[in-house]
Structure 1
Amino acid sequence: MTLKTLLAAVALAGALAMPAAASPEFWKSEWPDTNFDITNVESWTEILSGGPPKDGIPALSDPTFIDAAAESRLGDREPVITVEFDGETPRAYPIRYLTWHEIVNDEIGGIPVAVTFCPLCNSGLTFDRRVDGRVLTFGVSGKLRNSDMVMYDRETQSWWQQALGEGIVGEMTGMRLEQLPTWMESWAEFRARNPGGLVMDQPGWPRPYGANPYQRYDSSRRPFLYNGEMPPHGITPLARVVRVGDRAWTMERIRTETPITEAGVTLTWSEGQASALDTAEINAGKEVGTVRVRDAAGNDLPHDVMFAFAYHAFWPEGDWMLGN
């Protein structure tokens, strides 16, 4: 069975099982400490099983790092999530690892962070893990909503929507994580700018790091395990868009018009970054390029490079910045 066939079978099985399974009564044996009486989810049928159970995709905590100059396993075009805090050594978190773990709980300069990546939405976000004076540690629930990863915190067992950084089930419902200004770029870009930087070392799990288990996903006609509306304006569901707040620019427009300065932000595009969701080997993926988002003073801004269907699902009234 090919991976594509397997994913289709899992999607069909999940869709068929959902009407009976989408209920706290069904989930409580696995989530006995989650308060399902508190939620902002309108219907439990919005939440689907992605296949793996709770922690079936193992989030990482306290990763180890090596000098960028000593890293020889990463291809130049492979994407990494870059975290650069003032006064701290820049760090790169390779997507080849996040593809298999989705969340890395770390601490940089006294700031507890969660570096996250949802392959099904291409959403790579970094959050401050502090909420109301508490430091939370995040894991992967195995659930999806609008095809986006539902995270959970180990302290209260509340569920969180990764794309929003918002609690959606349990004690933390309605709470928001602060999104930090990080970005996705190629390994070569990070290394050239930060020769003295650090890169997350390969985790000690038996995974085929560097391989893409979602081959040709970003060329698919439809998203995986998604039943919502498709994006407007003729934009294909798996086209990449850059979200800043509740506004979105298509990657294609940024690529062809770079730089774009609108709504108080400047967006630039540069060549060299491979898609992590195309070919079997991540480094050989098609060109998607790197986008940087800055304010008028040149400061990096929090943003997300996500698929158009996910933006429309979570920001249905959002502004599509289509230009003239």
Structure 2
Amino acid sequence: MKHLAPLVAAALVLSACGSSDPAADPTAAPLAPTDTAVVDATQAPEPTAASPAAAATPTPTSAPIPALPTPQVITGGEGPTGDLAYVSGDWATDWSTRTIDLDELRIGIQVIPIRDRIPPIDDPEFAPASEAGWSDPEPGLLLVVGDTARFYPLAMLIVHEIVNDEVDGRPVLVTYCPLCNSALVFDPVVNGQRLRFGTSGLLRNSDLVMWDDATESLWQQIGGEGLVGAFAGHRLEVIPSAIVSWGDFKAGYPDGVVLAPPGRPASSYGRNPYVQYTSRSAPIPGFFDSTILDDRYPALERTVGVTVEGHDKAYPFSVVQANGAVNDTVAGVPVVVLWSPGTADALDSPVTAGGADVGAALAFDRRVDGEPFEFSPLGNGRFADNRTGSTWNVLGQAVEGELAGTSLVPVVHTNEFWFAWSAFHPNGEVFGP
């Protein structure tokens, strides 16, 4: 197999953003020479034989494993060296306060300045769902705050990765890392101060590292942990969200709204710069330490990562799909993980809506009026509860029967790739058959 240089993913994202050519940007300067060759921005990840799900037998955990302790803040020591020092030379980041070793950070963008080279959306606008023209399989991030439901197409998040938003007066930070397929929403208010976040151009464990423009601290996207700077050791509050199809969003939230293109035509979105990425058997070399790869499941299998009361538990898509509905208990809370077909893989086909049907998997507290229900699949993305026989959809909405109009409360969960979930939750529990 031909090995890719570790710069390819960043180059591909920059190509999608239309800003990867330093000649087109007079403020850009090339990086200092490195030992790693720069790959042409048009080169896509080379496909490899994907490991069949059956090749990795899931290992159920018999007892809960405690969540990771609060990160320990390290003070003092040397600042960045080498290329990291070169790309961050004008940053005001306090490198002496951190929770990680600085050599864990990887440079993901090879044109400086690297910060916000992948441009966040700071003043998002939205259109009624009834007026948008996305195709039904198009995947996107679903966010429901109060009575407002919003859909952020992955076709747009691939290009921008961060949306600094506000819903009914509540600040929200919407994020997506294509390399990990991790979509998370946070409360960006820290110590009473609303922070504006951007893309730092750095990666850790192949995952997006963000920065705030108040203290220039660095933050991990998965987990929302402050890594370096004044906010090292802080954690952003996670707001429940999920990846669903446009078709499911429209049906479940007909009065919802969708992120509108920010000053560029809608036709400029929808092209996937990561063609055949999810056909690979491992993350892109150079962005991820292969020695920590957990081989219980294929590296790029999607995984529902549930977090309840500080306890983390993974539900690989292959297991959830095989069951249709998984009734479980996490940290004493009864939860259900529902799987439904109809959501495209945004990271394999040249077109985000044209990928294979990987489905959607969402996690909820399965209590209704304080009573735990059990759910069973009816097929075609519908489920029945064991108490009233009402019919529910994958969004946790009762659509027929005695409980029609009732909605389950989502628990915090993600859909990142297995390699990413296991790297950031090495002591997490894994659901198995």
- Equivalent in the alignment of 1:231: 294
Out of 269-278 and 255-264, give the one that drifted further: 255-264
Say whether the 8 Å CA contact 1:148–1:161 is kept in structure 2.
Answer: yes
C-alpha displacement at 1:193, in angstroms? 1.3
**How far does residue 238 in structure 1 lie from its aligned partner after superposition?**
0.8
3-state SS, counterpart of residue 26 of structure 1: helix
Provide the residue aligned with 2:76 in structure 1: none
> Alignment partner for residue 275 of structure 2, among 209, 215, 219?
215
Residue in 2 that maps onto 1:242: 304
With over 3 angstroms needed to count, the CA separation of the structure-2 counterparts of 1:15 and 1:125, relative to structure 1, is farther
The aligned runs of 1:51-70 (5 Å cut-off) are: 51=109, 53-70=114-131
SS in 1 for 2:86: helix
Q: Counterpart of 2:351 in structure 1: which amino acid? A: E
Paired residue for 2:197, among 131, 134, 138? 138
Contact 2:107–2:201 (8 Å) recurs in 1: yes
Q: TM-score, structure 2 length as denominator? A: 0.68
Deviations 1:76-114 (A, max 9, x none): 10111111122x331111111100000001000221001
1:59–1:14 distance in 2 versus 1, CA, 3 Å: farther
Q: CA deviation at 1:230?
A: 1.1
- The Cα shift of 1:20 comes to 6.2
One-letter amino acid matched to 1:48? R
Q: Is the 8 A contact 1:147 1:226 kept in 2?
A: yes
Provide closer, same or farther for how the CA distance between residues 283 and 252 of structure 1 changes in structure 2, counting only shifts above 3 A: same
For residues 213 and 318 of structure 1, what CA distance do their matches in structure 2 show? 32
1:126 is displaced (CA, Å) by: 0.6
Corresponding residue to 1:281 among 351, 354, 357: 351
Q: Does 2:107 align with 1:46?
A: no
Distance across 2 between alignment mates of 1:104 and 1:291: 23
Alpha-carbon distance change, 20 to 58 in structure 1, aligned in 2, over 3 angstroms: same
Unaligned 5+ segments in structure 2 are: 13-32, 38-79, 368-407
The partner residue of 1:110 within 141, 144, 169 is 169
Contact 1:62/1:107 (CA < 8 Å) preserved in 2? no
Identity of aligned residues (%): 38
Does residue 226 of structure 2 align to residue 167 of structure 1? yes
Cα separation, partners in 2 of 1:16 and 1:10, compared to 1, 3 Å: farther
Give the unaligned 5+ runs of structure 1: none
Task: Give deviations 1:215-257, integer Å, cap 9, x for gaps.
Answer: 1101112212212411142x11111111012211100100010
Q: Is the 8 A contact 1:34 1:170 kept in 2?
A: yes
Contact 1:218 1:277 in 2 (8 A): yes
State the secondary structure of the residue aligned to 1:51.
coil
Q: Which amino acid aligns with 2:86?
A: F
Contact 2:163-2:175 at 8 Å conserved across structures: yes
Question: Rg larger in 1 or in 2?
Answer: 2
Whether the 8 Å CA contact 1:22–1:48 is kept in 2: the answer is no
Distance in 1 of aligned mates of 2:339 and 2:271: 26
2:340 to 270, 275, 292: 270
CA deviations over 1:22-77 (Å, ceiling 9, x no partner): 65x4344141x110000001x222100112511110011120111111112x1110
TM-fit CA distance, 1:205: 4.4
- Partner residue of 2:418? 308
Judge conservation of contact 2:10–2:108 (CA < 8 Å) in 1.
no
**Counterpart amino acid of 2:357?**
E
- Code of the residue aligned with 1:291 in structure 2: it is A
Whole-angstrom CA distance in 1 between matches of 2:220 and 2:173: 13
Aligned letter for 1:192?
A
In 2, Cα distance between equivalents of 1:80 and 1:171:
33
Structure 1 residues 15 and 110 mapped into 2: Cα distance closer, same or farther (>3 Å)? Answer: farther
How many Å separate the matches in 1 of 2:235 and 2:211? 13
Match of 2:217 among 151, 158, 161: 158
The Cα RMSD (Å) is 2.2
Distance in 2 of aligned mates of 1:130 and 1:170: 16
Change (3 A) 1:137 1:257: same
Relative distance call for 1:318 and 1:287 in structure 2 (3 A) is: same
| Residue-pair matches, total | 312
Structure 1 residue 257 corresponds to structure 2 residue 323: yes
Distance 2:340 2:126 in 1: 27
Q: Does 1:77 align with 2:141?
A: no
Within 5 Å, give how 1:81-100 maps onto structure 2: 81-86=141-146, 88-100=147-159
- Work out the CA distance in 1 between the residues paired with 2:165 and 2:145: 13
- CA separation in 2, counterparts of 1:77 and 1:10? 27
CA distance in 1, matches of 2:152, 2:9: 30
1:276 to partner: Cα distance: 0.8
Normalised to the residue count of structure 1, the TM-score between the two structures is: 0.91
- 2:240 corresponds in structure 1 to 181
* Inter-CA distance 10–62: structure 2 relative to 1 (3 Å threshold): closer
